[in-house]
């Protein structure tokens, strides 16, 4: 295990098994339909890459990037689109794929924004759900794991853009935050 991490929260094998299960459920829910998966950069990239390979219905994927100022800044957690979709979503069945839902502000904004573009349907899929910190309710259609209020990294999730390449989900050691701004 990496010295910056306190413990493994979800192993590579557990993630793998859950991704297969979610892929099966999505494939069955969307039987006879075509799907557009929208990955939120950069955190959801690894989850999306594994998930799409478990889906058996015709599937395309695209990416969006947003910058979130979080719950503490201003009233409604301002979210800015840094990179928009390549194609329109009108009339498409879309699934937004996130790494983690924390306050819910990012996903609420994204879901509302995408709904206003007249897709046929919008669902939300996240690898991790941290419900204890929710500020705005989010209806999650596909969830990998509910986790406690701890800061996690790995499998796409970062701290200062590091640790994304870890194959499992780990709890970051507090000593890493203490060195913040060194
Ligand atoms: P929210 O749901 O608060 O709008 O924001 C979700 C975003 O906050 C995620 O996409 C992720 O970038 C970041 N985030 C929230 N909790 C964690 C965590 O435990 N670890 C990491 N690496 N990012 C987190």
Q: Would you list the domain boundaries of the chain?
A: 12-148
CA distance 70 to 21: 31
* Ligand 1 atom showing the smallest separation from residue 138 Cα: 2
Burial annotation 163-176 (CB, 10 A radius, 16+ → b, else e): bbebebbbbbeeeb
* Ligand 1 atom showing the smallest separation from residue 135 Cα: 3
| Ligand 1 pocket, mutate which of 77, 157, 161, 168 (most atoms under 8 A from CB) | 157
Is residue 99 annotated as a catalytic residue, yes or no? no
CA distance 33 to 76: 35
> Is 136 close to ligand 1, i.e. is its CB under 6 Å away?
no
Reduce the DSSP state of residue 178 to 3 states and report it.
Answer: helix
CA distance 153 to 21: 22
Residue closest to 98 by CA, chosen among 110, 88, 89, 90: 110
pLDDT in tens, the chain (182 residues): 889 999 999 999 999 999 999 999 999 999 999 999 999 999 999 999 999 999 999 999 999 999 876 444 344 567 899 999 998 999 999 999 999 999 999 999 999 999 999 999 999 999 999 999 999 999 999 999 999 999 999 999 999 999 999 999 999 998 898 766 55
Residue nearest to atom 19 of ligand 1 (CA): 151
Strand 59-68 and strand 121-129: the pairing is unpaired
> Is 100 close to ligand 1, i.e. is its CB under 6 Å away?
yes
pTM of the model: 0.93
CATH fold, domain 12-148, is Rossmann fold (3.40.50)
């Amino acid at each position: 295990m990496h010295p910056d991490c306190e413990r493994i929260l979800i192993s590579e094998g557990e993630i793998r098994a859950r991704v297969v299960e979610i892929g099966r459920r999505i494939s069955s829910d969307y039987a006879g339909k075509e799907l557009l998966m929208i990955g939120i950069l950069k955190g959801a990239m690894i989850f999306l890459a594994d998930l799409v390979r478990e889906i058996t219905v015709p599937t395309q994927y695209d990416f969006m990037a947003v910058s979130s100022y979080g719950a503490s800044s201003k009233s409604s957690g301002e979210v800015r689109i840094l990179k928009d979709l390549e194609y329109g979503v009108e009339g498409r069945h879309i699934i937004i794929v996130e790494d983690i839902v924390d306050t819910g502000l990012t996903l609420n904004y994204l879901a509302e924004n995408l709904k206003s573009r007249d897709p046929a349907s919008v669902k939300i899929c996240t690898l991790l759900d941290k419900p204890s910190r929710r500020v705005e309710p989010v209806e999650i259609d596909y969830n990998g794991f509910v986790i406690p209020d701890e800061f996690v990294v790995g499998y796409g999730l970062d701290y200062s853009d590091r640790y994304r390449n870890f194959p499992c989900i780990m709890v970051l050691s507090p000593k890493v935050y203490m060195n913040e701004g060194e």
